[in-house]
Every structure is written in C-alpha cells, then in structure tokens.
Chain A
Amino acid sequence: MMGEIMKVDRRDAKLALAHIYVAFTALALGGLAGLLQTLVRSGKFNLPAGISYYTILTTHGTLLGLVLTTFFIIGFQFAAISRTAGTLSDRVRFWAWVGFWTMTIGTSTTVFYILTGQASVLYTFYAPLQAHAGFYIGLTLLVVGSWISGFATFAHYARWKKQHPGQASPLLTFMSVTNMVLWLVSTLGVAATVLFQLLPWSLGIVDKVDVLVSRTLFWYFGHPLVYFWLLPAYMVWYVAIPKIIGGKIFSDSLARLAFILFLFLSIPVGFHHQLLEPGIKPFWKFIQVFLTLMVVVPSLMTAFAMFATFEAYGRSKGATGLFGWLRKLPWGDARFFAPFIGMVFFIPAGAGGIINASHQMNQVVHNTIWVTGHFHLTVATTVVLTFFGAAYWLIPHLSGRVMTKAMNRLAIIQTVVWTIGMLFMSGSMHFAGLLGAPRRSAFSTYGNSPQALEWIPYQIAQAVGGTILFIGIILVLVIVVNLAFFAPKGETEFPVAEAAEPQERVALAMDNWKLWIGITVALILIAYTIPFVDMIQNAPPGSKGYKLW
C-alpha cells in the first residue's frame, strides 16, 4: 500500500461525486416512500389521491435497494481505485461516464414507470405479474451501465498491473476489482431473465413465461447482490477505519483472502431464498444452504480483523485490562462512530441471516416481516451507516472541503437517531414476524382475526421507528449537501491504512484471477446445473402476464 497519489484527481472526483449525488437523491425519495409505508401500516393513515401502497413499496425497494447502493458503491470504488492505483486514463474515465449516464437514464426510466403506476411489481418483479416493458428496459440500462463501469475498473487495474510487474495490487483496488467481478458474474442471472424472458414477454413477442426459471435466475443474482452491498462496507472497515483511528491493517493477505472467499461463496446460494417453493428437490436446496452458511467463515475472519485492529491500537495507546482498549477509540469522530455502530448491528443481523438461510428454521419466518427486519439491520444499518461514515470523508475529499466540528456533531447525532429508529422499527419487525405478520402487505386485520390484531401494536412501533429514521435521513441529507457545496474549502484526507506486516509475496499470489473465476464458475455449475436442467425438462406450461394492481 504505497500512498504515491494522495489526492484523487479533480476529474475523477467529479465522476465519483456525480454517482454520489444520484445515490443521495435516491435516498431522499426512497426514504420518503419508506416513511409513508410505515404510516400506512400503522392503520392510522391513508395515502392521498388514490396512490397505492404497492406503488410506494416498489419505489422504496427499487430506489434504496438497487439505485442508492449501486450508485454509491460505483462512485466510491472509482474514487478508491483512482486514489490507490493512480488517476484514471482519459479512456477509462470516458467509459465510466458512459456507464454513469446509462445507469442514470435507466434509473429515470424505471422510476417513471413505477411512479405512474405502470409497474407496481416490487423490486423483485416476480413474474407472472407483468410490468410495462419500460420498467424492464430501465432496469436493463441500469445493469448494463454498471457493467460498463465494471469493465472500466478492470481496464484501470490491468494498466496498473502492466506498469507494476511483480507487485501486488493496492489493497483497495484489489477489493474493488473483486466486488465488480462478483457483480458481473451475478448480474448475468438477472440479465438473462430480463432479456430473454421478461422483456420479450412484456413486449408481447412471446406470450408465456416460465415462472420458476425466472425466479431462479433472479435469486442467482439476488443474494450476491447483498454481498455487492456489503463488500464496499468491508473495504471501509478493513482499509479506512484503521487509518482513521490511527492504527494499522491487521493483515493485508487475510483481508484479500476474505474477499476471495466472498466471491466463491456468495453466488451459488440463491436457493436459500427459494426453500419454500415447489419445483426444486430438497437435496439441492440443502446443498445451497450448506454453501450459504460457509459465508460465515470470511465473516468470522472480518470480525476478528476488525476487533484485533481496535485492540492493537488501544493497547499501543497504553490501554490495560480485557476491554480497556474500547475507551481509547475515537468515539467523537463520526467517520469512526457511524461505521462502528454498523458493525455492532451486524452481530444480530448475521445471526438472523443464519436463521433465514437454515433449511428448517426458515419455515417459521419465510416471507414474514421478520425478513424485512433482517435486511433493515444488514443493508439499512450495517451497510448504510458505513456508507454515511465514508461519505463524511469521501465527499469533502472529492469536493475540496472540510467537515466542520458542527457537522461532525450533527453526524454523531444522526447516527444515534438512526440507531434508535432502527431499534424500534427493525426490532418490532422481528417480533411481529415471529408472530406471523407477513411482509410486503398493506394494513389489514384479516377480517379482525385475533392473530392479526396482535400485530398492530408492533406496526405502530414500526411507524414510530420509521418516523425517527426519516428524521435521520433529513439530517444526513443536510450534512451531505453541506459537505458537497457549503463547507469551508480545504483538504480532507482519503484515509488508507498501511498493513501491520507487509506481505507482498502472498498478496501478489492473490491477483490470480483465472483461478478465482474458475473456482467461482465451478461452484456455480455444481450448485445449479442439475436442478436447472430439471426445471427446464419438467417445466409446466408457461404463464401469461397479469396486471393485478
């Protein structure tokens, strides 16, 4: 990790910032949709002007799950590779802008069809509910744009390798490349179902669709998607946080190994989302449950590395006793505090994930609001708080400004507000889910069924939590706008830590992409070939499209 270029080039900064602006616009709109949902579900509020709950739900899921994340991650990664592997070449930057505009046009198209009520199919868009073709075309552009950005990233990495023969790539660049490989391999599934199934079908070129094949291709993508969200958070944890607190990266090679393990193990696992559906033999479901739970291994490595870094730093500052080092951490620094709270939330979130992925326990919670509670801990807390924490140095670094003490204090308050809001909302979602309350449903008492009446107090708690979270969104938007446009001019560091022990030789061996992609493909073929052939050979008659909203 040589810090030869300390400042991201202005032209690259502009590129990264453009992505971040779209991401936070999506947060504003998607967050408002989220607030309205929790209010409707409390049973005390009706949407005005005949707006459908499910239109709002589709807006929320799409803007926050697909748009906020993808744009923030790609913007962050362009800044990261520019910072650690040198300024982008004009050609790479040109294609990165092509990727950005393709994604932005795609997003606008999709959001237009959602808001005009022509695509209330939720962000999972399960066939045979059939959205307007424009919805699928927009999503296709979003994915294709991200591929262009992915290839731009690979081109930049290849140029660095050529200029630095026999050296291990910079850690952040290596991590960004791993995440884009994961993204490209996994989006092949969703691209296949949209291009070959849903688009021809919504345009009326074919009249029937194979629902199970479509779902399987979707979930082949749908789980690695969450690791595409998580890995950039891990980049911040592994590389930026040690520098922010003043420590070192625990082990460069082990960090790389963890990322490669995520690449192997996050893709051949989609069946754990399909445990309760017909058409897949239980044996194959179990294989993918097994592979899913293997992801625990790199997660354990990451947990160890983080806390080892914290403890080593605290002890170097003279901390004593078992937990004395905790007191030495910079609690007043929002760049540390927000991601740290994210890490803490990842402990219950990970435990909930093990429950969801388990062959039998999933039966109890499948499609209940427990699942919604789970991913509001993982994505909407662990990942998002880490992204907020990163934004607090990334945006001023890119905009040539500094975060003031007042803004830092506001960011600390923001994190506390988020924590309280999420404890209310996600906590009550978990409890209501255990009692059987369904996810993705508008307010209903199911004909005054005594069971449904039990869920209502939890739904009111969700609305309280949702309202607090919305205040959190307003606060973060204030900070982001300040850092981008109004904060005092100055230099802000893009923190990149050094490894405690440089391990060039091992790190170099980690750049063996032919081997890593080969193993990934082999695992995918093992997990999917036979059940997929089965699905096609024993396929039922296809389904025509339905527009039931």
Chain B
Amino acid sequence: MHMHKYEKIWLVFGIGVLFAFLVIVGVSAFAEGQQPPSCLTTIDPEKVDQTPPFDKPGLVKTGDNEYQLNIVVHAFAFTPNQIEIPKGAKVTINVTTKDVIHGFQVPGTNINMMVEPGYINTLTHTFNKPGEYTILCNEYCGAGHHMMTGRIKVVEK
C-alpha cells in the first residue's frame, strides 16, 4: 500500500512514543509492583458479619508500624467510619460489601477501589501526611449513595 513519506514519519514517531509509554507502564507494573488493586479472595456476601476479619471490622496492628484496616461496606455506610491512624503507618485496607457494588475512595490519596459483592478488595497505603481525610463511595449504590462517608484521621504518634 502506498504511504506518504510524511505519514510514515508521523506513524513511526507516534508508535515509537506509544511503545515507550507501554514499556514504562509495564516496568512499573511488573518490576516495581505498581499493580491496581486485585484480590482474588471470595466471600459469601450474606455472611460477611460472621466471616473473619470482617466479623470484627476496624484497625488491627500487625507489625511494627504496620496495620490492617478491615472495613465492611453496605448501603449507605462504612463500618467503621471514624478511624485514627498513626502517621507513617503502612496500612493494608481490606474491604467487602454486604449488598450492592460500592466504591471506596479517599480523595487526596491513591486509595480508590471497587467493592463488589462476593469479593474482598485490598490495597496497601502508607499515610505520610497528618490530617483529616474523607472516605466516600464513588460507585452509585442507591438513593443514599452521596450520604456515604467516613473519616480517617492521621495523627502524630
């Protein structure tokens, strides 16, 4: 097929940039472990309250400056919804829902997960800046969707 010389230059340059971009994204994902949240653990959505760790939701200390934060999500609330975390703590957040699909987002951080019935989702975050953060639901879940909220307080130890 005939292709104009300038079009060839444009495409070689464009596709070259695209592959450079994909290599960066790939290295970041597979060499540096910057993967999006994915957890293949399943759970019975109707038995969340009886299944550990969600039978006792909240913050659990698991090591030196390491924590697990287990949160149950349902229409239209997060349990717990007032959380205090020491500054610099590395926190693994586990979430699951008892009913419909919800979102779990903490604006101002990279904490952003879909919460789907039957699955546990998980993500690890280190809270380096003290202050108050808002938790909100960013996937439509019904009439009270925009009322779902919680607070994370990051405090100096």
List residues of chain A with CB under 8 Å of any chain B CB.
Answer: 52, 54, 57, 120, 122, 126, 128-129, 210-212, 215, 250-251, 253-254, 257, 274-282, 285-286, 289-290, 293-294, 296-297, 300-301, 304, 308, 354, 358-360, 362-364, 366-368, 435-444, 446-447, 449-452, 501, 503, 506, 538-543, 546, 548-549
Contacts and interface: CB of A to CB of B under 8 A. Distances in A.
Contacts of A542: 118
A451 B39 contact: no
Given A122-B140, A277-B121, A286-B26, A436 B2 contact: no
Contacts of A503: 1-2
Contacts of A435: 107-108
B107 A451 contact: yes
A129 B142 contact: yes
A444 B147 contact: yes
Contacts of A549: 142-143
B25 A360 contact: yes
Interface string B37-80: 11111111110000000000000000000000000000100000
Instruction: Please give me the 6 A-B residue pairs with the lowest Cβ-Cβ distance, nearest first.
Output: A436-B107, A548-B142, A540-B118, A540-B42, A444-B146, A278-B119
B69 to A, nearest CB: 16
Contacts of B26: 286, 290
Interface of B: 1-4, 6-7, 10-11, 14-15, 18, 21-22, 25-26, 28-30, 34-46, 75, 99-101, 103, 105, 107-108, 110, 112-114, 116-122, 132-134, 136-147, 149, 151
B114 A541 contact: no
B105 to A, nearest CB: 7
B110 to A, nearest CB: 5
Contact of B35 (A250, A279, A282, A293): A282
Majority secondary structure of chain A interface residues (helix, strand, loop or mixed): loop
A285 B36 contact: yes
A211 B117 contact: yes
Contacts of A452: 134, 136
A128 B113 CA distance: 18
A440 B43 contact: no
Nearest to A295: B18
Contacts of A251: 2-4
A7 to B, nearest CB: 33
A451 B116 contact: no
A542 B34 CA distance: 31
